[in-house]
Amino acid sequence: MARSIDIQTTTKKKQKPLQHELGFGIHFTDHMFIMDYADDRGWHEPRIVPYQPIVLDPAAKVFHYGQTIFEGLKAFKTTEGKVLLFRPERNIQRLNRSNERLGVPALDEELALDALKSLIAVDQEWIPTEPGTSLYIRPFVIATQPALGVDASTQYQFIIIMSPVGNYYAEGVNPVKIFVESEYVRAVRGGIGEAKTAGNYAASLKAQEVAKEKGYSQVLWLDGVHRKYIEEVGSMNVFFKINGTVHTPALNGSILDGITRSSIIQLLQHWDIPVEESTMSIEDLFKDAKSGALEEAFGTGTAAVISPIGELNWLDEKLVISDGKTGEISGKLYDTLTGIQRGTIPDPFGWMVEVNI
Amino acid sequence: MARSIDIQTTTKKKQKPLQHELGFGIHFTDHMFIMDYADDRGWHEPRIVPYQPIVLDPAAKVFHYGQTIFEGLKAFKTTEGKVLLFRPERNIQRLNRSNERLGVPALDEELALDALKSLIAVDQEWIPTEPGTSLYIRPFVIATQPALGVDASTQYQFIIIMSPVGNYYAEGVNPVKIFVESEYVRAVRGGIGEAKTAGNYAASLKAQEVAKEKGYSQVLWLDGVHRKYIEEVGSMNVFFKINGTVHTPALNGSILDGITRSSIIQLLQHWDIPVEESTMSIEDLFKDAKSGALEEAFGTGTAAVISPIGELNWLDEKLVISDGKTGEISGKLYDTLTGIQRGTIPDPFGWMVEVNI
């Protein structure tokens, strides 16, 4: 990609938040990346500018028809001061798969990766270093054409913002309680569940609110067709260790193809722990739990990395998993993955990509 | 509702477009309505201001998690200069039902209606009067809290914009060709299909794009569970006249509860034409079409009012309906509904609400 990124740095830097008070996605760095799309010009004017509001016509399609895509990935600073990204090319590839599903024109993947790296280099002093912290990167695309006809936009913006973050869950890696959702559905095959797009998250909020009122952190989603097969947990993929084998629902068109998910599978295979992707019913899971075969359960995602599940509630039947504690494999996966990410453990997979700063 | 709406009028009015060149949702009036919500203040500061860009933090939740609702309704000016709204209380009630599904705090319905009327009064000179034209009104809610955690926003804006419009389809009331969608799904029971929210429309764009490439105006959506029951057509409800009875899919949780839909049912009952809401399979419909029992088909919605269907393509089998012409009932419904709306035909149902200007 020959197009060079124009960089306009800020004249007044913000004060950085304390590292133990970061929270998740609340504070943002000094700069952002923007690139525009118009039907007659393609993607153009890639630029890094001071972090600033987005100014849109009230008729911009993103406000009405939800034509928007996002990604989430993290950058880490090693004790030697190197800056590492975790499998960024995977996020950019998925961004383009989501774009395709939502009728958004594809991004040049090399330019998008270059944009990520350039923005990180400009704001590298924002990468936190304390345990559990990282720089969360949020690339997203929004439809900006001001027109109310229901069709794909002719104008878009691709934007990258970055937030220094602590643990996603206030609980940290402590086990969470999960409510198995029987009323609401997140996504269905043929829908947009595989894409990382706003509508799937909007669909999830109500169920999450109801679960929270009942004292649960997240919901476990069942499939929209049979209402019995396990899909995801909250906005994470989900794994179960049953009789020594780690199971996760097979990708079926309505489950997000998680990058942490695929990394976990690779790690387990590397350790010679049997891992299976298959269709999993909630009924079988509860049987396995009652027989003692279910040993561990955990969610996986970029934000939380590994989130152990300590309790499941399905139709008012409660299951305690791993005595409500973090299981052995869950803990080992968390330590290994975060160790590789921060460069304290060797990376045999070539996952980490160094950013020249 | 005691809260009064602050009105700040523009000092430079825009030039109005020619009435025969309006298109749909492209031109916007001189003013807009805005009201803010914050968790600690509730909905506050209802105001009419000059039409202006929305300025949001790039982390605003609407860009990422699609927590947004919209409505669409129309205002008409009669030959005597009266301004009429078509069943606006229905739109406001549905707005609040959608809000509930998406975890958005409810609006005061009286205030929302007052906001609609006040904005129309301020911009009443924008209501076009030529046949087929009207003032399209787009109330919408967006989540504005700048935070990347996946949960319901603590801040929102309720906005109303207005656009003088011509016919929604360039084809006018001419019959359209419809592609029966077998791959993509719009919504599923338990999801957000019943709500008027961005995600449903985002989910529809790809299928519509593929259908257009094949020479079809819109798609007919089948249910996401069995992939055989008829749900909607494009972004409209759908009706079929079979052996003298008019059928429409029953509301099932994934179909939008259309205000034009319910008005059509009421009109047909008023005319003593049998009308049935039931589960309808695409297979039965094609059988009825082949036997000659299918007499007419049409979509219904605020934007297009009645959109006759002249051809259906299901798995490459093509059905011509009503010889590809506008059917008798379709035409009569269009004429009657638009006549009631513009005040040229008596309104026996009390649908029209006059706006004091």
Residue B40: the pLDDT is 97
Q: How far apart are CA B323 and CA A198, in angstroms?
A: 42
Q: How far apart are CA A194 and CA A203, in angstroms?
A: 14
What spatial distance separates the first Cα and last Cα of chain A, rounded to whole Å? 20
Domain of B201, in residue numbers? 176-341
Helix, strand or coil, per DSSP, at residue A281: strand
Residue B173: the pLDDT is 76
Structure tokens at A15: 């004060």
B129 shares a domain with B187: no
State the Cα torsion A102-B22-B84-A62 to the nearest 10°.
20
A227 shares a domain with A161: no
Number of domains in chain A: 2
Has residue B355 been placed in a domain? Answer: no
Indicate the helix (H) or strand (E) that contains B302. none
Q: How far is CA A1 from CA A44, A101, A120, in A?
A: 12, 24, 19
Structure tokens at B61: 């939740």
> Binning pLDDT at 50, 70 and 90, where does residue A174 land?
confident
Is B66 an 8 Å CB contact of chain A? Answer: yes
Q: What is the mean pLDDT of chain A?
A: 95
Instruction: Tell me which residue of B131, B191, B103, B169 sits closest to B309, measured CA to CA.
Output: B169
Give the relative orientation of helices A88-102 and A109-122 as an angle to the nearest 10 degrees.
130
B11 shares a domain with B147: yes
Q: How far apart are CA B240 and CA B329, in angstroms?
A: 10
Triad A330, A334, A338: Cα angle to 5°: 170
**Chain A stretch 284-343, residues whose beta carbon is closer than 8 A to a beta carbon of chain B:** none
**Burial tier of B21 (Cβ tally within 10 Å: 0-12, 13-18, 19+):** exposed
Residue B2: the pLDDT is 47
Instruction: Work out whether strand B42-50 and strand A31-38 pair parallel, antiparallel, or are unpaired.
Output: unpaired
Is B2 an 8 Å CB contact of chain A? Answer: no
Are the beta carbons of B205 and A58 separated by less than 8 Å? no
A244 shares a domain with A220: yes
Residue B170: the pLDDT is 61
A112 shares a domain with A201: no
Are the beta carbons of B58 and A148 separated by less than 8 Å? no
Instruction: Return the HEC string of A102-126.
Output: HCCCCCCHHHHHHHHHHHHHHCHHH
Are the beta carbons of B56 and A60 separated by less than 8 Å? no
**CA of B206 vs chain A CAs: smallest distance (Å):** 5
Has residue B353 been placed in a domain? Answer: no
Is B235 an 8 Å CB contact of chain A? Answer: yes
Residue type, B123: D
Are the beta carbons of A65 and B205 separated by less than 8 Å? yes
**Residue ranges of chain B whose pLDDT lies below 50:** 1-2
Residue B167: the pLDDT is 78
Of B166, B186, B205, which residue sits at a domain end? B166
Q: Any residues with CB less than 8 A from the CB of A145 and at least 6 apart, and which?
A: A60, A61, A153, A154, A155
Cβ–Cβ under 8 Å, residues A60 and A145: yes
Query: Which of B68, B104, B219 has the highest number of chain A CBs within 10 A, making it the mutation to test binding with A?
Result: B68
Chain position carrying tokens 């089948």: B222
Are the beta carbons of A53 and B57 separated by less than 8 Å? yes
Has residue B223 been placed in a domain? Answer: yes
Of A166, A194, A222, which residue sits at a domain end? A166
Residue A170: the pLDDT is 60
Instruction: Find the closest chain A residue to B222 by CA distance.
Output: A190
Alpha helices in B103-197 (DSSP H): 109-122
Give the relative orientation of helices B109-122 and B88-102 as an angle to the nearest 10 degrees.
130
**CA of A13 vs chain B CAs: smallest distance (Å):** 17
Residue A1: the pLDDT is 43
The region of weakest confidence among A33-37, A187-191, B160-164 is: A187-191
Is A225 an 8 Å CB contact of chain B? Answer: yes
Instruction: Tell me which residue of A285, A245, A281 sits closest to A265, measured CA to CA.
Output: A245
Has residue A351 been placed in a domain? Answer: no
Residue B169: the pLDDT is 65
3-state DSSP helix/strand/coil percent for chain B, to nearest 5? 25, 30, 40
Has residue B58 been placed in a domain? Answer: yes
Please tell me which of the candidates B102, B146, B188 has its beta carbon nearest to residue A224: B188
**CA of A162 vs chain B CAs: smallest distance (Å):** 10
Report the half-sphere exposure of A53 (CA within 13 A, side-chain side).
8
Of A166, A196, A218, which residue sits at a domain end? A166
Instruction: Find the closest chain B residue to A164 by CA distance.
Output: B148
Query: Which of A185, A216, A231, A235 has the highest number of chain B CBs within 10 A, making it the mutation to test binding with B?
Result: A185
Residue A171: the pLDDT is 56
Residues of chain A positioned with their CB less than 8 A from the CB of B203:
191-192, 199
A141 shares a domain with A44: yes
Give the relative orientation of helices B198-213 and A88-102 as an angle to the nearest 10 degrees.
70
Residues of chain A positioned with their CB less than 8 A from the CB of B62:
62-63, 198
A145 shares a domain with A197: no
Structure tokens at A69: 């895509």
Q: How far apart are CA B168 and CA B300, in angstroms?
A: 12
**Chain A stretch 148-207, residues whose beta carbon is closer than 8 A to a beta carbon of chain B:** 148-152, 159, 161, 163, 168, 183-192, 197-206
A239 shares a domain with A142: no
**Chain A stretch 101-130, residues whose beta carbon is closer than 8 A to a beta carbon of chain B:** 101-103
Residues of chain B positioned with their CB less than 8 A from the CB of A224:
188-191, 224-225
Is A35 an 8 Å CB contact of chain B? Answer: no
CATH of the domain at B98: 3.30.470.10
B160 shares a domain with B281: no
**CA of B128 vs chain A CAs: smallest distance (Å):** 18
Instruction: Work out whether strand A245-249 and strand A275-278 pair parallel, antiparallel, or are unpaired.
Output: parallel
Cβ–Cβ under 8 Å, residues A181 and A221: yes
* E-state strands within B149-236: 155-165, 176-180, 218-222, 230-233
DSSP 8-state class, residue A265: H
Is A346 an 8 Å CB contact of chain B? Answer: no
A275 shares a domain with A136: no
Has residue A347 been placed in a domain? Answer: no
Are the beta carbons of B190 and A150 separated by less than 8 Å? no
Instruction: Find the closest chain A residue to B194 by CA distance.
Output: A203
Residues of chain B positioned with their CB less than 8 A from the CB of A147:
25-26
Residue type, B130: E
Structure tokens at B191: 């999801």
Query: What's the sign of the alpha-carbon dihedral B344, B347, B351, B353?
Result: positive
Q: How far apart are CA A144 and CA B179, in angstroms?
A: 28
Has residue B155 been placed in a domain? Answer: yes
Instruction: Find the closest chain A residue to B61 by CA distance.
Output: A198
Residue B357: the pLDDT is 86
Cβ–Cβ under 8 Å, residues B218 and B179: yes
DSSP 8-state class, residue B210: H
Residue B174: the pLDDT is 85
Q: How far apart are CA B231 and CA B238, in angstroms?
A: 8
Q: Report yes or no for ipTM above 0.90.
A: yes
**CA of A187 vs chain B CAs: smallest distance (Å):** 7
Alpha helices in B45-167 (DSSP H): 61-65, 88-102, 109-122
CATH of the domain at A322: 3.20.10.10
Helix, strand or coil, per DSSP, at residue A130: coil
Residue B313: the pLDDT is 96
Alpha helices in A59-197 (DSSP H): 61-65, 88-102, 109-122
B335 shares a domain with B191: yes
A146 shares a domain with A259: no
Has residue B357 been placed in a domain? Answer: no
Phi, then psi, of A64 in degrees rounded to 5 = -110, -45
Residues of chain A positioned with their CB less than 8 A from the CB of B65:
198, 201-202, 205
